[in-house]
Amino acid sequence: MIALRRSLLFVLIGLPMIAANVCAAPVEGGQHKTKHSPVFTAAYGTKYQFDPRMQLYLSGIVNHWQFGIADRNPAILAMFESRNKPNNGRLLPWSGEFAGKYLTGAVEVLRLTDDRQLKAYLERFVKTLVGLQENNGYLGPWTKEHQLKNTKPGTGSERYTWDTWNHYHLMIGLTKWYELTGDEEALAAVEKIGTLVCETFYDKPNVLLDLAHVGWTRGSQEYNLTLAHSLMKLHQIVGEARYLAMSRQMIDEALLSYGNYLKLGVAGKPFHRATGFDSRRWERVHILSAMPHLYWVTGDEDYRKSYETLWWSILESNCHNTLGFTTDEVAIGDTYGRGNIETCCAVAYNAMSVDMLKLTGNSVVADVMEVMHLNALRGAQDISGKWSTYHTGTEGIRKPNTVDIGFQNRPGSEELNCCSVNTARGFGLISEWALMKDETGLILNWYGESDFKTKHKGTDVRIAQHTSYPGDGKLQINVAPAKPTEFDLRLRIPFWSKNTKIKVNSEVIPSPQAGRYLSLNRQWQQGDVVELLLDMTVGYWPGEEGRGDHASFYYGPLLLAFRPELPAEIETIGEIHPVGPSYKSGKPGAAVKFKVPGDQFKLYCDKDPDAGQIGVRIDGQFTEKIDLYRPRPEVPLCTVFDNLGPGEHDVEITVLEKSEKSNNNRVRFRIIHYDLPVFDLTNFRWAPVETKDDSALVTIECTAQNGDTVNLVDFDSAGWNDQFYVSWLPVVKEKEGTFSKDNPLRLIRTAR
């Protein structure tokens, strides 16, 4: 291993450190004829400068994560050099994705930062990676007899891999590098993979499905089909017909016997109604990502219709209040589900949303991406850049993914797991949607202190924003072309901003419609100023099902959260484990102990056919046995233990033997043993106040039902520095919220 590390480090470090342009003119997308064009495209080549907080995020990601990743984790590349060695470092089935996911995010972050040191490092990284590709195009970590077979040496479930899925991510990363730099060697490597895939699977769609049995450790079929997306990206660049044909076979034929997403969407049915549990996992979003490209190339309306239907259905039924996607990695059709909200899932849906915006030009899609970025994605990334999360819950304490999914750690890749290599892409994708363009002009989606330098039809244009947004809704936008130039500048008017005010060069413009783009078509010249005042009125999303009698509050695009004072830590006994804010076990006798500082606490318990029983002792006395079995999964059971009396109380919750009806001893419960404010929504009063917390982006002061003054802070800041937070808060007299394409957060406005 020592010799191996030295050989790879020599390749990475031995090349010149001076950053140079690989290609004078970056490639900006497909070069071949298509039936349709995207409504909007990214304004590639823009130079970005953001507000200090955003710059801290980006510099942390670049300097403490992306730069030097292979020096700290040599196995990210060494696994490809060691493909013919026994066991090859006991790799995970998906270890081969790490290089591709990392490269994809790093290229997108490079578009934002134009960091010369990162660019030079990526040049060396790509050169080393491409040099490890076999002549037949294979670029994975497995021996010849197992290449693209989704198997590896071994027995049982451990012998299955995600080899085809890993090649998908490598194709995407190398394609993005080529599009940015014009590096022909990178494109050639992608073409070699594409050729190998076609030679292996073309006219044999079922081979992809029959590689191995369904199961997350068994080469699942759905992972294989993601190649449809990367092949379409490649086809749009080189025009090779077989890449298009292979992609269509995957979507049109193979999917008929697995997931059937194309017909599902065309029929207007939601994503979570796909047949089979595995067909609803988050990775399937990458299969769907082929559809917009197939529509643009072929003109087949079914691809467009299906993609739009499935995107909206995910937003409505499977995105949490942060707009994080999935519960325990699956689309369960319940936005209130209590389970892990994986970072990879949010990043995948964010990428899907970029193509949705390009496909439709719908400003609400951009609104959704802003909410997702400011809450789910920033919440997943520590501002230092050194670590990110696996699970970013709607409540709880954020932990590094190297802790939560530490089972993925391997010698030589101690920092690497599925989420750590992927989180930065949540920031890099901003380069795809912050500023966009079409034939008539520019589309400004990003709001915040910033300075963008771009071009419109060859003319330099500078768009500088002076604002504290999203701390408040007042923005001054300076538009300065190098010479007087006529173009259409479209401004995003968020769906939540019901009373927007705008002036251009002090001239009042009629109030624009929320949830639409405002078109300002004029001859722009230096000194032009747009004044935009967004309506930041606090709105609330009234909870349902498992979140009944609770609400989430939003200040503009910012989800708000409360940081309660916590009593002493919960002690675990035996085989019982924390999962986010909950505890789970299947072992009778396992228990938790904790102290209640007041006279009540609550238990929220999952109910399903595999649920067991728990027993509750308070101050040494057996109080209650709770049977969690139900024939079908139901809304979590809430049990309130009150009137405990003054003082501190000792509580123990123990896993008992299951009842005769249940299939298992499994239990999962959440303990609420801290005080939360209750808000009366008929008399809710709020106001922004000067924050006393240096980390908080915004602090909103409100009045609880009992008259107490309560401070809520933005969701991102709420979890900084290991702080516990809650974003679903108890309320009374709430109204019913309804999802719509004009109000996807179901917001009901409050009084000031």
- Which residue matches tokens 């409540």? 395
Q: CB-based contacts of 621: which residues, under 8 Å, 6+ apart?
A: none
**CB distance 381 to 57 below 8 Å:** yes
Give per-residue burial for 609-638: e unless 16+ CB within 10 Å, then b. ebbbbbebbbeeeeeeebbbbbeeeebbbe
Please give the structure tokens belonging to residue 38.
Answer: 């995207």
Residues of the chain with pLDDT under 50: 1-25, 212-219
The 591-596 sheet, strands edge to edge: 571-573, 591-596, 649-656, 613-618, 621-627
Global pTM reads 0.89
Q: CB-based contacts of 136: which residues, under 8 Å, 6+ apart?
A: 192, 196
Tens of pLDDT, residue by residue over 158-217, are 677 888 999 999 999 999 999 999 999 999 999 999 999 999 988 875 676 665 444 444
Q: Which helix (H) or strand (E) holds 396?
A: strand 395-396
The full 3-state SS of 592-645, as one line of letters, equals: EEEEECCCCEEEEEEEECCECEEEEEECCEEEEEEECECCCCEEEEEEEECCCC
Please give the structure tokens belonging to residue 239.
Answer: 């025009």
> Residue 510, preceding bond cis, omega within 30 degrees?
no
- CA dist 341 and 633 (Å) reads 19
Please give the structure tokens belonging to residue 10.
Answer: 């020599």
Q: CB-based contacts of 95: which residues, under 8 Å, 6+ apart?
A: 75, 79, 89, 141, 166, 410, 413, 416
Among 307, 395, 317, 382, CA closest to 351:
307
Residue 545 pLDDT? 85
Radius of gyration, alpha carbons of the chain:
26
Among 165, 173, 267, 244, CA closest to 208:
165
Tens of pLDDT, residue by residue over 555-613, are 999 999 999 877 778 999 999 998 767 899 999 999 999 998 877 888 888 888 889 99
- CA dist 695 and 691 (Å) reads 9
Please give the structure tokens belonging to residue 265.
Answer: 């969407």
Residue 19 pLDDT? 34
DSSP letters of 437-455?
E-SSEEEE---SSEEEEEE
Residue 18 pLDDT? 29
Among 138, 122, 134, 222, CA closest to 174:
122
- CA dist 583 and 562 (Å) reads 22
Domains observed in the chain: 2-10+43-433 (1.50.10.20), 436-533 (2.60.40), 545-564+677-749 (no CATH), 571-672 (2.60.120.260)
Q: CB-based contacts of 361: which residues, under 8 Å, 6+ apart?
A: 39, 40, 517
- Amino acid 118 reads L
- Which residue matches tokens 């707009």? 323
Among 127, 128, 120, CA closest to 80:
128
DSSP letters of 511-534?
PPPTTEEEEEEEEE-TTEEEEEE-
Strand-pair partners of 713: 561, 699
Residue 604 pLDDT? 82
- Which residue matches tokens 């009698």? 549
Instruction: Estimate the crossing angle of helix 343-360 against helix 363-372, to 10 degrees.
Output: 160
